Copies of this chain bind each other. A is one copy, B any other.
Amino acid sequence: MELWQVPLLFSRLPMFPFFDLAHYVASVMALKEQRGAVEVSVQSPVACWFSAMLYCFGGSVLSSLMLAEPPVAFLAKGANILLASSVWYLVFYCPQDIFYRCFAFLPLRLLVAGMKEVTRTWKITAGIEHADSHFKDAWLVMVAVGWARGAGGGLISNFEQLVRGVWKPETNELLKMSYPVKVTLVGAVLFTLQRSQYFPIARHNLVFLYTVFLVVSKVTMMLTRSATSPFAPFEAALGHMFFGLQKTPSKVKGEGAASSNGSPVCDRSSSEQHQDGVKKRQSKKTE
C-alpha cells in the first residue's frame, strides 16, 4: 500500500460495527448530559429509549420524512437497533454509572467523538445519493437531504425534546445553528457540487479531506474548550457582503468566550442550563 491509496481505502471503510457504535455512544452520552434527561430515564424508560433512538437515528428519520419513505424504516435494521439499545441501556442504567464514567474519560471521549465525526461524512454522501435517486439533478434537494441525514439529531431537536416533556420554541437549529449543523451544511454543499461535477475532485479524496477536517476541528474544539466556529470569519464576511450585517462577528466571539468558561465538551448544555434557570425563576414567581 502506498500513501496515495490511503483516501481510496479510507472511503471504502465499513461503518457497521465500530464507527456506528461510537456514534451511538457519543449520541446517547450527549442525551444524558441534557438537563432533565436522567429524571426522564427514571420516570419513563420508554420515553428515554425513544429519545435516545431519535438522537441515534434522527438523520434517518428526518431524511425519510423528506423523501416520503417510511420514517420507521430504521426500526427494521435489527442489528443497529440492538447495538443502539444496548448502548442506551448501559449509559443510563449501568450500576454505579460505570459505562458513562468510563467513556467520559477524556482520551476515550476524544476517540469516540472522532469516530462519530467519520460517520457524518458517510451519512451526508448516503443522503445525497438517496436524494439523487428520487429527483434527478435537483441539487437543492440533494443538499437538503444530505444535510438532514448528517445533522438530523440537531435539526429535529425541538421535537426530540418534546418527547422528554421539554419545549423550547424560542430557539432551534435554524435560528441559531450549532457548529456540527453548520459544518454538515458545508459538507452537503461540497458533496453535492462534487456529484454534479462542478467541483473537480475525486470523490474519495473529498471524503478523505472533509473527514480529516471534521475530526481535527472536533478534537481541537474539545481540547481547547473553545466554542468559536472555524467558520466565524467567513460567516462574518458573507454576512457583511450579502446581508449587510455588521455586528455579528463581535457577537459570535463574545458568545464563544462566554461559553468557554462552562463545560464546552458537550454541545448545547451551557446555553440550555441558562435557559432552564430563567424558566425556573419564572415559574417560581408565577406559582
Contacts and interface: CB of A to CB of B under 8 A. Distances in A.
Interface string A64-76: 1111111111011
A135 B73 contact: yes
A172 B176 contact: no
B175 A43 contact: yes
Describe A's contact surface by its main secondary structure.
helix
A17 interface: no
A138 interface: yes
Contacts of A176: 43-44
Question: For A72, A73, A162, A165, which residue has the most chain B Cβ atoms within 10 angstroms?
Answer: A72
A42 interface: yes
B40 A175 contact: yes
A172 B177 contact: no
B169 A243 contact: no
Interface residues of A, number: 60
Given A71-B65, A162-B158, A286-B282, A174 B141 contact: no
A240 B42 CA distance: 11
A35 interface: no
Interface stretch (A45-53, A105-113, A223-231, A263-271): A45-53
A218 interface: no
Contacts of A172: 47, 162-163, 165
Contact of A174 (B42, B145, B163, B286): B163
Nearest to A92: B243
B169 A175 contact: no
A174 B71 contact: no
A72 B158 contact: no
A244 interface: yes
Contacts of A244: 93, 95
Contacts of A134: 70
B158 A165 contact: no
A200 interface: no
Contacts of A285: 285-286
A164 interface: yes
Nearest to A174: B47
Nearest to A82: B140
Contacts of A167: 167, 169-170
Contact of A286 (B66, B243, B286): B286
A50 B147 CA distance: 14
A229 to B, nearest CB: 14
Interface in A146-181: 158, 162-167, 169-172, 174-177
Interface of A: 40-47, 50, 64-73, 75-76, 78, 81, 89, 92-93, 95, 134-135, 138, 140-141, 144-145, 158, 162-167, 169-172, 174-177, 239, 242-245, 278, 281-282, 285-287
